[in-house]
Chains A and B, each alone.
Chain A
């Protein structure tokens, strides 16, 4: 039987895992709402956003309680810091899913653009990143977390490519402006979600290696 403090740490991890599962589901449904032109899927995404928001608050509560009662040290102290950051990033990813779902409703009122076929590839790249970042957290594999980080650039590149196509479309035919703009917003939301996944991967790397690889260099605060 594990020590009570380990059970509390496990609860923080499990809550993050639940949050990531719901976030992953929201992303999947939001992209399907765009591709399959299904407003009901968009409704499901918006409904689960509240639950994800509540889980973010719950993670912070668990973290503050654990810090106040256990005075965590070493890896446990890093877990406190990154648990709060991971939950915040997951909540923002879920916000991007909601944004995609809302744009899906607008897009579904007009004929579909063929450029929508580029969205699933971009979304699946981003969702693989999320899957690997969360797996690296669960399985304590900081090397896996490290492989997630450069993949953000691939998502950025796909976003640029899709946006260029859509802008061209808007210039060629003004009647495309609304739906092309909505589709650009969807691509941008996926790109932003990938940025948050990259943050999660960096946080997992820090948790298990003790090395902060965000940005470049450090300043000394004395």
Chain B
């Protein structure tokens, strides 16, 4: 049973999107049915994700939260036989599965950070500018400026500014993950998807990434998948609970973690199943 409902924007609004029809939400999901071959992974999901908020997806393994996350930048296109049978996903009002949408262009607008940090075997500098070079942007002054801005935004600049041309894989796990976040934001996406970004990090590195998430929401919409209930409670404005491919409940994080509406949600977050 999906119980999603429109969520208020409060005082903050989405940045203007000249090319797309106006929408108050960063993402609108309508009646989404998603399949891996014959396997029905998402059932009639309806969901609105407001801009400039952190939305956490929680639920037991296999509940569909990562599948939905990967729908938002069409990463599932890379999975053979996966397909959307019904429904639509709009990013700032644009149907991302429409005929004229280029998935590569979409992924510039909707960046992603993965569970395991995956810096390229290149220098810190080249990691950050990787997406820009693919776009053909090679002007040194512009790249220098973006590298500094992105590393500052990822709270990594002070730690690496004197060794920008050393290998990115030589950084600690927490630094590597923040480098990946810097790489994601260098291309100035509208939305950043994070799939368990702290699951391989120690508590101090986790705390830095969580602090970063809090800062980044001023400029970006963030959607994070996490198995860590405390992290969802600490970092997010909204929390959505998924179970067996269905959205069970979405509400303000404070409400979900103090007095959720659905019993299944309460049983899951209190550790009674899942």
Residues of A within 8 A of B (CB): 3, 5-6, 71-78, 210
Contact = CB atoms under 8 A, between A and B. Distances in A.
B271 A74 contact: no
Interface of B: 229-230, 233, 257-260, 266, 269-272
A71 B258 contact: no
B229 A71 contact: yes
Contacts of B258: 74, 77-78, 210
Contacts, number: 27
Given A3-B271, A5-B271, A74 B259 contact: yes
Contacts of A5: 271
Nearest to A70: B271
Contacts of A76: 270
11 contacts: A5-B271, A71-B229, A73-B270, A74-B258, A74-B260, A74-B270, A75-B270, A76-B270, A77-B257, A77-B258, A210-B259
A192 to B, nearest CB: 32
B223 to A, nearest CB: 21
Nearest to A206: B259
Contacts of B257: 73-74, 77
Contacts of A71: 229-230
A77 B266 CA distance: 11
Kindly list the 9 A-B residue pairs having the minimum CB-CB distance in the complex, ordered from nearest. Answer: A210-B259, A73-B269, A74-B266, A76-B270, A73-B257, A71-B230, A74-B270, A73-B270, A74-B269
Contacts of A72: 270
Contacts of A210: 258-259
B227 to A, nearest CB: 14
A67 to B, nearest CB: 12
Contacts of A3: 271-272
A167 B1 CA distance: 65
A75 B229 contact: no
Contacts of B260: 74
A5 B257 CA distance: 18
Given A74-B259, A74-B269, A210-B258, 17 more contacts: A3-B271, A3-B272, A5-B271, A71-B229, A72-B270, A73-B257, A73-B270, A74-B257, A74-B260, A74-B266, A74-B270, A75-B270, A76-B270, A77-B257, A77-B258, A78-B258, A210-B259
B266 A75 contact: yes
Contacts of B269: 73-74
Contacts of B233: 73
